[in-house]
Each structure stands twice: as C-alpha cells, then as structure tokens.
Chain A
Amino acid sequence: MEVEVCGDESAATFTFHNEDHTIGNTVRYMLNKMPETSFVGYSVPHPAEPKMNLRLQTVGPPATQVLHEALGNLYQVSEHVLKTFEAAVAKHRTEQGAPELR
C-alpha cells in the first residue's frame, strides 16, 4: 500500500495503491459524514490496475488532517463493531449452550 498526496491544503487527491472499493467506499462514507468535508469522491480508474483515487475538498482545514480524522473514526467504528460482535457471540453461547465445535 502506498499513499500519494497532491494538491494544496484544503483540497487533495490521494492515490491508494493496492486498494479498491473496500477502503474507497468506506473512507468516502466516513468523510462524507464529516462537517469539515465539502466534497469527497473516489474512483478506481481501471479494474485491472490496483489503484484507487480519492478526491477530498474541505471547507477549510487541511485535507490530510480531515482524512486522518476519518481513518481514525473508521478504526474506532471497526473496533466497536468487533467488541459488540464478540459480546453478542458470548451472550448467544450462554443462552444457547455452546455449539458443537468442528
């Protein structure tokens, strides 16, 4: 993975190498949900090229900083999903009795 940044402070295009829609769409979503964002979009220029471009225009703060924050949010969301899921599995196990393993 590799990240290239080009553009000025408040707008930038980030190129993610070896990434696709998985990260593209989630990061786009997290950015779109931030009040600092005025425009965000991503594209995979060619399906055979392992590359993803993300364009970000903020309302003022540096684009890299906003992207950083979005990635932080994404990490925290995943962390919470993991914690909640593990708790739900544990709860299910105690309610149902442990399922047969293998």
Chain B
Amino acid sequence: MKHVSEGGLPAHLEKQRTRMFVKNAAPEHTSTVEAASAYAASGLENSFSIERFRRDFRVEIQSLSAEEAVFDLIGIDAALANAFRRILLAEVPTMAIEKVFILNNTSMIQDEVLAHRLGLIPIRADARVFQFRGDPPDDPNEYNVISFRLQVKCTKQRSSGASPGPAVVGCAPSTAGSGASSDAGLLGSRVTSGDLEWIPQGEQEERFRDAPIAPVHDDILIAKMRPGQEIELEAWCEKGIGKTHAKWSPVCTASYRLLPEITLPKPVTGDDATTLKGMCPTNVFDIEDLAGVPTATVARPRNCTMCRECIRHPGWDERVLLTRVKDHFIFSVESTGALPPETLFQESVKVLMQKASDIATLLKDATAGQQSEP
C-alpha cells in the first residue's frame, strides 16, 4: 500500500492533514491523524517507519548562544516534540542547594525562607559528573554533594580615611538603587549569590579546575541586612530533577511553536497591499514592485503570532490564509546557565532513550514473571 506522505490524497485533504488553519472564529484541523489505518479507505497507509523518519527528519539551528538556542525540528510529531519539552522542564538533572545548615542568622529573613531562596539560585556545575543521593540518601561524598559557605556580616562603614570594616567576607559595597538609599554607609547590607563560597570536597578542586563551581550569577540578592546582623551557614547542593522541585529545572523556558505559513491566494496589490502591511502588528508583510504594480509579499512569516488582525475585517479572511505546518516545530530552549542550551536538548533526548530502553527491560521482566506464575 502506498504511504500517505508519498501523495495520493486529494489536495484539500492533504492540506488538512499537514496544516492547521487559523480562522476568525477558531482554529481548524488542529489534530494530527495518527492511526496507521486512518486512510485505509483511500488505499493509503499512515504507519510509522524508521526508514521514512530517517529520510525526512531535519534539524535547522536558527540561533545559538550561551543562554538560548532556537532551532527547528522538521518532520516530527507533536507527541515526541512535547516529550522533549516536558523532559527539558522536569527530568534533565541539575545541581541545586538542597540542605542548608544555618549556624547563625540574625537577619530579618527567616531561616526557612532564606533556605528556600538559596535553593533557587542556579549553580554552575555539570550534574552529569555527579550522582543522585537517592532515598534514603547515601552518605554525602565528593560525588554527590557540592558544599558552599555563606558568612556575611553587616557593619557600618568607617568614616573616610579609615580602612574598611573588619573581616567582612566577600560583601559587595552597597551601591544599591537610586534615590535616598538607606544602604548608604553600610558594608555588607546586600547579601548576594556572589557571597557564596565554594568549599571543594576531596578531589573536587582538581576535578573542576577548568570550570570552578559557583553560582551562575553573582548578583542575585539573597537577603538585606542592617548593621550588627549576620548570616553564617553551610549549604549543600545535591543532584535532582525538576519533577521533584522546580529549582532543579535546567531551563528558564523550553517551548515550541508551529511554523506559521501565510499565503495570499490572489495577489494583493495597490492600496490593499498598503492596508495589509499596515494591519499587521508584527510586520510580516512587505510591498514589492512586481511588473510596476506594488504587491504585498509575505516577507517574515516567522514574526507572525497568529493574532488574526489581518483577517479580522470583512472579506480579508478570503485573501489571507493563515496556517501552521503541523510537523515543523520552532523550539526555543533557554538555559539557567548550568549547561549550554544545546547540551540540555541532547540530554533530554538521552533521557527519553533511557526511558524507552528501561521500560523495554522492565516489560520483559514483568511478562517473564507472569508466565512463571502458576
């Protein structure tokens, strides 16, 4: 039987199969047709084959920076794209502060709130070289715990000419804010993530010589203090996943959208072209001179947010067709900074592979167990 992707469906059905339509009232044909036998009546098969997937699947990197990656996954279904997104959010492990031993805290902020705030600080450490502590937790060692110390005290700044206050560990001078800052003349009134001092355990110093472990950002405000107040604590980072707590989520956002596809069935020319260009708030359209006639063209379809402003006025929904390509995903992964975004996506795919093989093994065990029962 011929496969549905090789053609054979009437043009309008093929369009409904591969595109979703954005209409004035509501989107149409949003679902994907999955069942292998869905088009059997037309003499077409709709099954999955790995060969076909290998042939058709493409990845195109749009932009890549230390924080964010934008790339297109083309020729994949929403079920899989969504699995990668979900895994990125909840199942790619990172390191985050999990245990806080508070030795002294005379600041305004309560111990438990302080501990929570510490937990949310992104830590620059590759979780792949660490182990989970498990439940019940394994004994702490250099392979499952990263230790930080926070020792800060707020003092009044000495009058000019004198040396700065005694033993104020790593406190940034208060340069906070505009206006009449009450921090003026104080040392260590702002406790930031930069004050966290990494205490290498065992051979950690040697192992992380090239990339010393530290908070991703040095300027995250943890607490504010007044003269005489101090905080002294030790914080332990452990490996975890976002499913347990969002602090372990390696991404700020991981999202995807379908590729917008805008078509003008008939040329839009003259004043209409100007109107169309003017209607679009995201500047999707351009006007080009085609054979002396100013004609509207779709210059930047990726800008389109499907706001439907261009089809709102009577008659325009016939002239502008807003569709999205159902198997073209524009992925955007923004890392919290522990690992580069492209590495995070690779890790998410590996997690899915691991899941598939683990479940296959468990399934084998479960069926073997059932057969051996009397």
Please report A residues at the B interface, Cβ cutoff 8 Å: 1-5, 14, 16, 19, 21-23, 25-30, 32-35, 37, 64, 67-68, 71-82, 84-89, 91-93, 96, 99-102
In the complex, are the beta carbons of B66 and A102 less than 8 A apart? yes
In the complex, are the beta carbons of A14 and B356 less than 8 A apart? no
In the complex, are the beta carbons of B57 and A92 less than 8 A apart? no
Chain A residue nearest to B74 in the complex (CB): A84
Cβ contacts under 8 Å, B345 to chain A? 85
Chain B residue nearest to A72 in the complex (CB): B360
In the complex, are the beta carbons of B60 and A26 less than 8 A apart? no
Cβ contacts under 8 Å, A88 to chain B? 59-61, 71
B46-82: CB near A (< 8 Å → 1, else 0) gives 1110100110011111001110000101001101101
Cβ contacts under 8 Å, A5 to chain B? 363, 366-367, 370
In the complex, are the beta carbons of A80 and B61 less than 8 A apart? no
Cβ contacts under 8 Å, B66 to chain A? 99-102
CA distance A72 to B358 in the complex (A): 11
Instruction: Judge if B103 is at the interface, Cβ distance under 8 Å.
Output: no
Q: Which of B50, B57, B90, B367 contacts A73 (CB 8 A)?
A: B50
Cβ contacts under 8 Å, B46 to chain A? 33
Cβ contacts under 8 Å, A27 to chain B? 359
In the complex, are the beta carbons of A33 and B60 less than 8 A apart? no
Cβ contacts under 8 Å, B36 to chain A? 32-35, 37
Q: List 26 A-B contacts (CB under 8 A).
A: A1-B358, A2-B366, A3-B363, A16-B359, A19-B359, A21-B86, A23-B83, A23-B355, A25-B79, A28-B79, A30-B48, A30-B79, A32-B34, A33-B46, A64-B367, A71-B357, A75-B360, A81-B59, A81-B73, A82-B346, A82-B349, A82-B353, A85-B349, A88-B61, A92-B64, A102-B66
Q: Which of A35, A76, A85, A99 contacts B37 (CB 8 A)?
A: A35
Chain A residue nearest to B50 in the complex (CB): A76
CA distance A101 to B211 in the complex (A): 11
CA distance A23 to B46 in the complex (A): 22
CA distance A27 to B86 in the complex (A): 14
CA distance A87 to B359 in the complex (A): 28
Kindly provide the distance from the CB of B327 to the nearest chain A CB, expressed in whole angstroms: 13
CA distance A17 to B357 in the complex (A): 15
In the complex, are the beta carbons of A33 and B48 less than 8 A apart? yes
Q: Which of A23, A33, A101 contacts B47 (CB 8 A)?
A: A33
Kindly provide the distance from the CB of A55 to the nearest chain B CB, expressed in whole angstroms: 15
In the complex, are the beta carbons of B356 and A71 less than 8 A apart? yes
Kindly provide the distance from the CB of B302 to the nearest chain A CB, expressed in whole angstroms: 17
In the complex, are the beta carbons of B346 and A85 less than 8 A apart? yes
Cβ contacts under 8 Å, B80 to chain A? 26, 29, 77, 81
Cβ contacts under 8 Å, B298 to chain A? none
Kindly provide the distance from the CB of B63 to the nearest chain A CB, expressed in whole angstroms: 9
In the complex, are the beta carbons of A32 and B35 less than 8 A apart? yes
Kindly provide the distance from the CB of A80 to the nearest chain B CB, expressed in whole angstroms: 6
Question: A35-B37, A74-B356 are contacts. A26–B79 as well, Cβ < 8 Å?
Answer: yes
In the complex, are the beta carbons of A82 and B48 less than 8 A apart? no
Instruction: Judge if B91 is at the interface, Cβ distance under 8 Å.
Output: yes
Chain A residue nearest to B60 in the complex (CB): A88
Instruction: Judge if B246 is at the interface, Cβ distance under 8 Å.
Output: no
Kindly provide the distance from the CB of A15 to the nearest chain B CB, expressed in whole angstroms: 9
In the complex, are the beta carbons of A80 and B346 less than 8 A apart? no
CA distance A85 to B59 in the complex (A): 6
Sorted nearest first, the 7 A-B pairs with minimum C-beta distance are A33-B48, A29-B79, A92-B61, A88-B59, A75-B356, A32-B34, A3-B362
Kindly provide the distance from the CB of B54 to the nearest chain A CB, expressed in whole angstroms: 6
CA distance A80 to B53 in the complex (A): 9
In the complex, are the beta carbons of A4 and B366 less than 8 A apart? yes
In the complex, are the beta carbons of A67 and B79 less than 8 A apart? no
